[in-house]
Amino acid sequence: MANVRIIYDDAAGRATITANNTANGSLEASSLNTNTKSLAHRSNSTSVTYTLTWASDEIINGIILPATNLSSASTIAVVAKNSIGTSIYTHNSGTPVNACINTTLDSYPSIKNVNSFPYGGLSKTAIWFTSTPTTVRSLEITLNRGTNPSASPAYPSYIDCSRIICGKYWEPNIGVSKDGLEVTISDTTQTSRSDAGDLYSDRGNIYDQLNFNLAILDKADREELIKIMKYVGSYRNIAVSIFPEGNNRNEQDYLIYGKRETSGIGYLVHNFYSNSFSITGW
């Protein structure tokens, strides 16, 4: 199992993002580098290619789509290019890989689009480059719905995607502890009881929370983690995958994009430390 991976400096936020097709309306490609989950780009078909370009080099070896309406039959392909337009990394070009195996969206009992994202009806996708971090000027990300699985209601004839995250990930030398690893599905719904004794609900939003422990950090990882803490704080969002490259239900459930809570770094013995992470999903 690969170790936890964290993208804390999002290069997509600095990119110009275009799409090769867009449905009519306000669901445009400009939504893809904002942190508003209730906004999305909507394609006008069941296939779309996003192109991210930068004015200067970016180091990238991880790509995350934290909220889409892709099905378990959907695929993703990625091509990275350098400053002269030459492909320097290709992720399964010609044979796109499954984007989100066993996504719970297949069985989500309501409409499957951006309107369901705030209520837990979404899929997550991650692509990790197997080589060293790649210096790129453009990324092409192609999504294809594929054959829709049996679902009620059925998937729509378009793709919604709220965010693209990409950058260089940090992977500590020692993995996450099994103790304390938990994902929580939180619901902001409020309930009240009337004078007549009836129970009413004011529906809220559903979001995920992820807790995990880095029970042992060596000196190099402690220094990198302090750098991340100072850069991210509780203000910037970070993307975390506990089970990267799994391409399975575990990565769906234990992948999160959101804000970390303040936490301390504990001292164990000389040159060894510890830390606990708590992240609230966007």
Percent of the chain with pLDDT over 90: 81
Residue 96 has what pLDDT? Answer: 74
pLDDT digits (tens, 9 = 90+) for 28-78: 999 999 999 999 999 999 999 999 999 999 999 999 999 999 999 999 999
Residue 76 has what pLDDT? Answer: 93
Q: Which two tokens stand for residue 168?
A: 């260089």
Q: What's the predicted TM-score (pTM) here?
A: 0.93
Are 114 and 42 in contact by the 8 Å Cβ rule? The answer is yes
Residue 87 has what pLDDT? Answer: 83
CA distances from 81 to 19, 20, 90, 245, 250 (A): 17, 17, 9, 22, 30
pLDDT digits (tens, 9 = 90+) for 104-138: 999 999 999 999 999 999 999 999 886 677 789 99
| pLDDT higher than threshold 90 for residue 182 | yes
Read off the pLDDT of each residue in 186-206 and give the average, rounded to a whole number.
Answer: 96
Residue 184 has what pLDDT? Answer: 97
Alpha carbons 69 and 156: distance in angstroms, whole number: 9
| Domain boundaries, given as residue ranges, for the chain | 11-169, 182-281
Alpha carbons 165 and 224: distance in angstroms, whole number: 20
Give the three-class secondary structure for 131. Answer: coil
Residue 245 has what pLDDT? Answer: 77
Residue 68 has what pLDDT? Answer: 98
| pLDDT higher than threshold 70 for residue 209 | yes
Q: Strand 190-193 to strand 199-202: parallel, antiparallel, or no bridges (unpaired)?
A: antiparallel
| pLDDT higher than threshold 70 for residue 281 | yes
Read off the pLDDT of each residue in 209-233 and give the average, rounded to a whole number.
Answer: 97
The architecture CATH gives domain 11-169: Sandwich (2.60)
Burial state string for 93-122 with b = 16 or more CB within 10 A and e = fewer than 16: eeebebbbbebebbebeeebbbebbbbbbb
